[in-house]
Amino acid sequence: MADLILATDDTGAPEIFASLQGEGPSAGTPVAFIRLSRCNLACTWCDTAYTWHFEGDNRPHRDGVTFDRKANQVAVSPEKAAAKIASLGQKRLVITGGEPLMQCGPLADMLAILPDIEVEIETNGTTKASSHVDIRVDQYNVSPKLAHSGNPAELALIDERLDFYAVDPRAYFKFVIASPADVEEVLALQKRYGILPERLFLMAEGTSSEALREKQQWLSPLCLKHGFRMSDRMHIHLYGDERGT
């Protein structure tokens, strides 16, 4: 049985913790979180770059910081990860990253030990869950990356994957918005893939309350205009841009 490769918290322990979901349709819900390491994309504004931007990775990131892989990754068996999650006493589990669907094998093994927990997966929408993972998923939070992320469209926006999620009733779409022009790109994607507006969230990009509030001033009327939902980042207001929150 293969290990899961997890991100670490500030103490070097695996990043498994209880908190309130801060984003999307489940915002405010008490949950357990597990953050997996590794990602197949490289967003220039990524706020969890410690899951992928390791020393020797020359892909650009606005902070210009790279991380020591050994200090920021830890291998954990599915059994130990499941035991830690169970000990948190939550009814719902959010699996996040990085890109968690890069590790479907050990994820399936972990979920098999947690049969009574609701499962929410946060994904960039370029990957597909294995059947053994998919059967356990109650909700997908799909966050396709727009042009301002710095990822080439041929890597970030894959027709087959987005078509799949657009017709899955478990899937919600959450787009990170840095400027009003980004909403035009969202509108084009919504039309192309037939995404229902009530399943589409716009979320301001930012890692401080001030940055979020500034963008939300012009983002909220755009949500109203187009019938989209707006997602805050509640954990930023509560805890700041910190690991394990």
Express each pLDDT in 2-19 by its tens digit: 999 999 999 999 999 999
Residue % of the chain over a pLDDT of 70: 100
pLDDT band for position 1 (50/70/90)?
Answer: confident
pLDDT of residue 142: 98
The answer regarding whether domain 4-239 maps to CATH 3.40.50.300 reads no
Tell me the mean pLDDT in the region 64-78.
Answer: 97
Separation of alpha carbons 22 and 245, rounded Å: 9
Domain ranges of the chain: 4-239
- pLDDT of 41 over the 90 cut: yes
Instruction: Give, as one character, the DSSP assignment of residue 149.
Output: G
| Tens digits of residue pLDDT in 202-237 | 999 999 999 999 999 999 999 999 999 999 999 999
pLDDT of residue 128: 95
Single-letter code of the amino acid located at 56: G
pLDDT band for position 243 (50/70/90)?
Answer: very high
Q: Please give the mean pLDDT across all residues of the chain.
A: 97
Separation of alpha carbons 98 and 190, rounded Å: 24
- pLDDT of 194 over the 90 cut: yes
Sign of torsion over alpha carbons 30, 32, 36, 40:
negative
**Tokens representing residue 82 in the block:** 């499941």
Rg from Cα positions in the chain: 17
Question: How many CB atoms are located within 10 Å of the residue 120 CB?
Answer: 24
